[in-house]
Structures are given as C-alpha cells and as structure tokens.
Amino acid sequence: MIKNITIGQYIPGETAIHRLDPRVKILATIVYISILFFIKGFFPYIYVLGYLGAVIWLSEISLKTILKSLKPLAIIIVLTLIFNIFMTPGERLFGFGFIVVTREGLYQAVYMGLRLMFLITGASLLTLTTSPIALTDGIEKLLNPFRKLGVPAHELAMMMTIALRFIPTLLDETDKIMKAQMARGADFESGNLFSRAKAMIPLLVPLFISAFRRAEELALAIEARCYRGGENRTRMKQLKLIGIDYAASLLTVLLCVAIIFTG
C-alpha cells in the first residue's frame, strides 16, 4: 500500500499540463475541488469526467499511476459508500431488521464515491505534473498579496512544499524499515486489521528518528548556503502567463458554468 501513495511525487515531462504556470494549476485545482461539492445530480459528473480525462490525456500520465493514487484510500471510499447506503433516510428498497437500504442512500453513495475519486485524482495530478520548485514559486506568488497583512508568503510556501515533498521520502524510509524488520521475523501481513495496525507501532520510533535526522540535515544544508528567506531573492525562471495558461483557465471556468447551470 505504501508504494501506491502518489501524493507528493513528481513525474517529469514536457507536456502541455507540465508547462502550465503553477499558479494556474493550483487555482484550477482549488476551483475543481470546490465545484465538486456543488454537484447534486449525476449528469454534471459527465462534465467532470471529460475535464479530468482531458487533463490526464494531455499530461500523458498513465492510467495505472492514476489508479494507484486511489488504492491507499480504497477503505475510506468503501466505508463512505456503506455509511451513505445504510444511514440515509428515504424510500425503502429492502432491508434486514434494522438495516435498511433506501433509494436516496444508493444515490448518495454513488455521488459521494464519485466525488471522492475525482477529488483524489485531481489533487494527485497537481503534484504529479508540478515540480516542487515550481509549486513553491506558485504558492508564494499567490500568497504575495497577503504580505501586507504580515503573512510570511515565502516561508509558508517553502514549508508547505517541503512537507509535501517529504511524503514520498518518508514512505520510502518506512518501506525500508518494514523490510528490515520483516527480515528479522516481524509480521505485518497476517491477522485482522487491528493486529496489523498494532504491528506497525514498532515502526514509529525509527521513523521519527529518521524524520528528525533528515530535518536536521536539511536545516544544515540551508544554513550552509546562507539562506535568509525570500527577501530580495531572484529567480532564474520568472513566472509569466502565456496563451496555454489562459486556455486552461477558460476551460476551468466553462466547467464551473456547466456544473452550476446543470447541477
């Protein structure tokens, strides 16, 4: 399951999606996730599927990689479906004792399942097609207007990006620790869900030690390069909106309009 987590990973490329301005991708992702919560019918999901399919096709990210991003959250998706099916009041279809399945529950389960899958996929595409440096620059540029209110835009952007970038690093470290303990007789596969969760507890101590060590190494590397924050910093690549960025923004706006008027 650890290898299936794609959040924080970046796949280099020269596609149209990779070349988009990071500010456009961040804002488009925020709008895309927000508009999902305004959908109240099934038909608008067709627009979302078309939008998402176009992004995946243009980014040239394999469908296998996209499906991997859904695997770690499969249990959450299934639990969401179960809760919506059995706990939504409405027209009774069938039941066994106090367990009742309603028509509204089935509809709600389908809507929530689609919403979660589209949300996870859209968020994963942002990190899969945007390098950590570009993501940092994009977040900082978007937060710059709040500097007048005392918000440390550069520092916040850097912390968010480092935290996101460290996710795959810590997952690789976890995998190494698990393999080392399995070689010494540890069992992480057998037993029920609670037994396997309990078996994961011994991983926490070496994982925390590794995380603190990496954080200290990163801090020393930053200090060795005389890093002093974002003041008066220059960039080799300046962010500039071009035609493809305006086209992507227009497509996102059209998606919102279509969902608002049909949802």
Work out the average pLDDT over 212-222.
84
Select from 153, 139, 118 the least CA-distant residue to 25.
139
Q: How many CB atoms lie within 10 A of CB 19?
A: 12
pLDDT grade for 193, boundaries at 50, 70 and 90? low
Work out the average pLDDT over 218-240.
74
pTM equals 0.74
What pLDDT sits at residue 200?
Answer: 72
The CA-atom distances, in angstroms, between 192 and each of 44, 136, 178 are 39, 41, 18
Q: How far apart are CA 257 and CA 241, in angstroms?
A: 23
pLDDT grade for 44, boundaries at 50, 70 and 90? confident
Q: How far apart are CA 162 and CA 166, in angstroms?
A: 6
pLDDT grade for 28, boundaries at 50, 70 and 90? very high
How many residues in the chain?
263
What pLDDT sits at residue 258?
Answer: 84
For residue range 56-101, list pLDDT tens digits in order.
998 888 888 887 777 767 777 788 777 777 777 777 777 666 677 7
Domain coordinates in residue numbering, the chain = 2-262
For residue range 105-164, list pLDDT tens digits in order.
788 888 888 888 888 888 888 888 888 778 878 887 888 887 777 777 777 777 777 777
Instruction: List, in sequence order, the alpha helices (H) in 60-131.
Output: 63-70, 74-87, 103-128
